[in-house]
Amino acid sequence: MVWKSSPLNPLAYQVETPVYQGPLDLLLQLIEHAELDITKVALAQVTDQFLAYLHDLKDKAAQEVSAFLVIASRLMQIKSEALLPRPPEREPGEEDPGEALLRQLVIYKRYKELATLFDQREKLGLRSYLRLAPPPKMEGKLDLSDVSVADLAAAARRAFLEAAGKTPKETLGRVVIARQVNIRDKIALIVRRLRQGGKAFFNSLIGKKASRIEIVVTFLALLELIKRFRVQAQQEELFGDILLEPAEEWSDDAEFELEFAD
């Protein structure tokens, strides 16, 4: 911010700032020049100086002077109220013009201080970093104009063979084979467990690493045995383990498993 005063008229301030130009600049400079704190008393004391500067703006355009007129009218009201023997009575909800202008000036001063601080930091180069390492060298573009898709496929095939020790890789159908699970085998498993222990829990039939399809098929086998009145199932709580028990006395004949083999 730059302000100048004429040798002939020390009150003819010329306020210039990259952030703001207007009456608040002048008002703040008048208070700081008089070494006053920003209070309503200080606003009243610099009213005459502000009006003197406003008098010198008579040759300026109306648009430039209007903002100064608003501040000048508020300063005159503040000074007149300060001269009264008792403070004026205000309507409920009516704002004190002195408090409003004081608050506006304090906020404006804070913004100007921050703007000055940011300007100093920019000039000092703070929060800016200098690149010390040299820029990386960019390699030339690879010319693939004479390379066909077949050439690329052959190069990829050679790379894969070298990575695998020059042994061809198995096809996915030969490497990954889905495990076959059927209801007949699961029925045989349930019957075998019940004959050995007399009872069994469902979770013990599927194990800890069973796949989803294995769990579903085992459950279908259990439902088939329950439907044929061969097995009784009990579940004490929701989502709890299922206890399986034979529904009747089982004999160790071969016909039992053959019954469920179809």
Residue 17 is predicted with a pLDDT of 44
Residue ranges of the chain that CATH labels 1.10.10.580: 183-259
Select the highest-mean-pLDDT range: 39-43, 45-49, 127-131, 177-181.
45-49
Instruction: HSE, CB side, 13 Å, CA atoms: give it for residue 244.
Output: 27
Mean pLDDT of the chain: 76
Residue type, 168: P
**C-alpha closest to that of 73 among 92, 45, 101:** 101
Other beta carbons within 10 Å of 125: 9
Q: Is the pLDDT of residue 27 over 50?
A: yes
pLDDT tens figures, 85-98: 777 777 777 777 77
Residue bearing the bigger pLDDT, 202 or 162: 202
Residue 164 is predicted with a pLDDT of 67
Tokens of 221: 């086998």
Question: What average pLDDT does range 160-177 have in this prediction?
Answer: 64
Query: What residues does 234 pair with on adjacent strands?
Result: 243
Nearest-5° Cα angle at 194, 191 to 197: 150
pLDDT band at 166 (very low <50, low <70, confident <90, very high): low
Helix, strand, or coil here: 88?
coil
183-259 is a CATH 1.10.10.580 domain: yes
